[in-house]
Amino acid sequence: MKFTEQLWQEISPIYSAILTHGFVNELTLGSLPSSTFQYYIQQDALYLTDFSRALNQLAARATTPNDMLSFTQFAQNAILVERALHESYFTLYDIQPETAKMPACFAYINYLLATTSLQSVAVGAAAVLPCFWIYREVGNYIHQRASQQNPYRSWIDTYASEAFDQSVSQMLALTDQYAENASAAEREKMRDAFRVSSRLEWYFWNDAYTQNRWLV
């Protein structure tokens, strides 16, 4: 079994919890309140900017030109996706840009930046992998069920697209390659990082769904 297949098996309960979450369910039906989607998209604009930084960090630290190129391309795409998707929704719903990261976004971004800066590139790669992989799977899951009139159609189409799928496959191959060259202890850290980020993906949606704010 591929290393990444093992990773996916290990987050199976987390992935199930994501698929059955109210946010994903209502996004699929198109009934998600626009205020909920607004919170999500404001936080996601902040997320994607720093996610791009985390990918650039991996690009700077990667050892082969091929890997550097992959990571810089992902980093660039994250900014481009942020612009395309968010500018259209920001205009559509007259959303003001937010500057404050709410708890899940704050936790997730800081975790990604710390991990891609201070851990090995292999562990950093495992930490960013859920952002690719979970979004592709959730995107496809929703795409199969959502109607053409769904107001969140362009969000859905982005993550169910051929281009996104290619990036995800490339990132999966990279991760398997890092795992092959890693020690058993290093692979253990990779598994932990993948699980932590997967859990934070659930929290990111849950914060939007509950409009979570700092209590103090």
Ligand X SMILES: Cc1ncc(CO)c(N)n1
Specify whether the CB–CB gap between 213 and 109 falls below 8 A. no
Specify whether the CB–CB gap between 178 and 121 falls below 8 A. yes
**38: which 2 tokens?**
């607004």
Q: How far is the CB of 200 from ligand X (least distance, A)?
A: 8
Interacting positions 125-144 with ligand Cc1ncsc1CCO (CB under 6 A) = 131-132
Which of 27, 42, 44, 123 touches ligand X (CB under 6 A)?
44
Interacting positions 53-82 with ligand Cc1ncsc1CCO (CB under 6 A) = 74, 77-78, 81
| Residue (137 or 201) nearer to ligand X, CB | 201
* Residue 152 touching ligand X (CB under 6 A): no
Nearest residue to 54 (alpha-carbon basis) of 137, 105, 121: 121
Question: Taking CB within 5 to 8 Å according to partner kind, which of ligand X, ligand Cc1ncsc1CCO, none is near residue 102?
Answer: none
* Residue 48 touching ligand X (CB under 6 A): yes
Nearest residue to 136 (alpha-carbon basis) of 188, 171, 89: 171
Which of 120, 135, 157, 177 touches ligand X (CB under 6 A)?
135
CA dihedral of 36, 40, 41, 46, whole degrees rounded to 10: 150
